[in-house]
Structure 1
Amino acid sequence: MKKILTLALTAAVSAGAFAQGFPSKPITIVVPFAAGGPTDTVARQLAEALRAPLGDATIVVENAAGAGGTIGASKVARATPDGHTLLVWHIGMAATAGLYRKLPYKPLEDFEYVGMINDVPMTLLGSPKVPANTYRDFEAYIRANGGKVNLAHAGLGSASHLCGLMWQSAMKLDKSLTAIAYRGTAPAMNDLIGGQVDLMCDQTTNTTSQIEAGRVKGYAVTTAKRLDSHKLLKDYPTLQEMGLKDFNLTIWHGLYAPKGTPADVTKKINDALKVALKDPKFIKGQEMLGAVVVTDNRVNPEGHKAFVADQITKLKTVIDAAGQYAD
């Protein structure tokens, strides 16, 4: 009995000492997409905000793009579980569970959930060549032209892909739109601006500047309520207002560590995350992206994980209905 107690105390002391010594080297935040995209921007702003609460730690952002985000996620799942390798990923953490028949990791089992970062609204956009200036006219145009309309997205599992699927499902169109997959948001947006494709649904982090410059037409937002605090999008209707019952989609981002990361280390990172999310500079940077910093229970590991589990179920239903799967 004494031996068991001694071992338990030794383990507890070791774990505490490990946490006290963390970080002992540079921390790498892996982003499973190319540099310059919205998730990369969120990760770089977060890295800056995390440095001080983690004792002026050196934090670098590493881009590991490919396979809808699963390459970067796999890298973190296989990393040494000491808290020095972290993952920032969006709704893809939940979507890939339905999109991929064979994943190299289990979303709910192979990561320690640290906490949620933000919610990013989506905007439904049209090409300048689309002859509609309001959502009602846009919807009429879509229903009249059916399969002739092209819907751009940034690849399977991307925010724009998931939003497009959910919008089509809610619309109950007689004919599915022609989906055009791109290798990233930038080329998809470029073709939307140029009129090679007709519509796209994507994050405000990507769309706000394009709408403001008049390069694309904005029709509606995907949130449950209007974005009253957003200077450009505050007057845009929600899709719920336009008759799509219960339509509410945001592209959230979360922070993850490899499974087996010591609990004290995970707590230390979570504590630092909570400080970072209250950093005025970080909040301002997120507001400029059109993102809303998380303040509810999802900032805690248990709330974060419960939310993702619920999202996995909801998104799988939409993906199965569309029958669009990745290899």
Structure 2
Amino acid sequence: MARLSKWIAAGIAGLALSVGGAVAQSFPTRPITVIVPYSAGGPSDAIARLLGQNMSATLGQPIVIENVVGAGGTTGAGRLAKASPDGYTLLIHHVALAASAALYTNLTYDTNKAFETVGLVNYGPMILITKKDYAANNIAELIAKVKADGAKTTIAHAGVGSNSYLCAQLIQKALDVKMTDVGYRGTGPAMNDLMGGQVDMQCEQSTTAVPQIKGNTVKGFAVTSAKRLDVVKDLPTLQEAGLKGFDFVIWHGIYAPKGTPADVVAKLNAALQKALNDPAIQQKFTDVGTSVFPAADRTPGAHLKMFEKEIGIWKGVIDKPVN
């Protein structure tokens, strides 16, 4: 009887493995949803749509973009954490997902345990931009004006926890000045108000900022990386402007719910790798001042390593949670 029970158990285990393998082999058989935790028109949304077209062709199924906004991107992340771990619901997010572990105490998920890393996408700096008629002509004048005006200066961001929020806090800390933060439900609405002159400045991803600078709808002053950007080479770095050691670079990655089969994750990663190897897609990233991660850094394992490292970094940067 004991031996029969072992045979039955082994048979069930083998059946489970074969079914799991069959599911992974046939995946996908229906449309895949990619959650963007910010509003339509923002950088994360643009990247998701760019990759979605290419990955859809590779996977043979439509990829549907769903904008789930709120709480600095944590509402969308929470939606993914609760989704079925079958590969049909994904999330594209940036460094703010790692920072949220330190920024919030009331998350509905454990940032360290809720997600499977599918692969890294791109990385690049932020750019400090202002409304077109802001009374400064270079970064030195801007810094002097901000220090003189203090809280009279309004700085827009895409919501607490967003990249633009984190960048705004780092700049204020580096300048030892408290501005007035103005939060929005995404980059699109924030940028619209900046272009309309409703707020003074914004620290925004190059993906979104470069086209507006070149279109002369906003003024660009400095980049947040340690090196200048070729696409806006006239803009100095904040380090050059006197903010010693200032180096803030953001990056995007794709995530699946924890427990998604490894074979499914591998299939998704292969489609992502193929998309990011496309010269046309690489050029689109280059045109807006960002770079595609090298292929070796785009594996699920490399993504996990970087994600865990960033979680630790932001726990050391954020002084206190916002709630």
Superposition TM-score, scaled by structure 1 size: 0.89
Q: CA deviation digits over 1:63-98, x for unaligned, max 9?
A: 222222222211211111111111111222112212
Matches of 1:36 and 1:216 in 2, distance apart?
Answer: 17
Task: Report if aligned partners of 2:69, 2:185 keep a CA contact under 8 Å in 1.
Answer: no
Residue 28 (1) aligns with residue 28 (2): no
In the alignment, what sits opposite 2:139?
135
In the alignment, what sits opposite 1:271?
270
Letter in 1 for 2:213: I
Q: CA deviation digits over 1:253-301, x for unaligned, max 9?
A: 1101111111111111112211111012322332344332111543111
Matches of 2:92 and 2:18 in 1, distance apart?
Answer: 30
Structure 2 residue runs of 5 or longer lacking an equivalent are none
Stretches (4+) displaced over 6 A:
none
Question: How far did residue 192 of structure 1 move?
Answer: 2.5
Q: CA deviation digits over 1:17-73, x for unaligned, max 9?
A: 22111112111111122222211111111111112332x222211222222222221
Question: How far did residue 242 of structure 1 move?
Answer: 2.5
**SS of the residue aligned with 1:86?**
strand
In the alignment, what sits opposite 1:103?
107
Letter in 2 for 1:223: S
Residue 94 (1) aligns with residue 98 (2): yes
In the alignment, what sits opposite 2:75?
71
Which range is displaced more, 144-153 or 160-169?
144-153
Identity of aligned residues (%): 47
Matches of 2:63 and 2:155 in 1, distance apart?
Answer: 38
Question: How far did residue 7 of structure 1 move?
Answer: 5.1
**SS of the residue aligned with 1:254?**
strand
Which range is displaced more, 136-145 or 20-29?
136-145
Matches of 2:131 and 2:321 in 1, distance apart?
Answer: 24
Residue 316 (1) aligns with residue 315 (2): yes
Question: How far did residue 102 of structure 1 move?
Answer: 0.8
Question: How far did residue 236 of structure 1 move?
Answer: 1.5
Matches of 1:6 and 1:103 in 2, distance apart?
Answer: 40
**SS of the residue aligned with 1:219?**
strand
**SS of the residue aligned with 2:222?**
strand
Matches of 2:159 and 2:90 in 1, distance apart?
Answer: 24
Q: CA RMSD in A?
A: 2.1
Task: Report if aligned partners of 2:39, 2:188 keep a CA contact under 8 Å in 1.
Answer: no
Task: Report if aligned partners of 2:159, 2:184 keep a CA contact under 8 Å in 1.
Answer: yes
Equivalences, count:
318
In the alignment, what sits opposite 1:125?
129
Structure 2 vs 1, CA of residues 156 and 9 (structure 1 numbering), >3 Å: closer, same or farther? same
In the alignment, what sits opposite 2:153?
149
In the alignment, what sits opposite 1:191?
193
Structure 1 residue runs of 5 or longer lacking an equivalent are none
Task: Report if aligned partners of 1:125, 1:217 keep a CA contact under 8 Å in 2.
Answer: yes
**SS of the residue aligned with 1:252?**
strand
Letter in 2 for 1:92: A
Residue 45 (1) aligns with residue 60 (2): no
Which range is displaced more, 309-318 or 214-223?
309-318
Which range is displaced more, 284-293 or 301-310?
284-293
**Residue correspondence of structure 1 range 159-170 to structure 2 within 5 A:** 159-170=163-174
Letter in 2 for 1:85: T
Which range is displaced more, 188-197 or 233-242?
188-197
Matches of 1:182 and 1:305 in 2, distance apart?
Answer: 30
1:112 to 112, 116, 125: 116
In the alignment, what sits opposite 1:182?
184
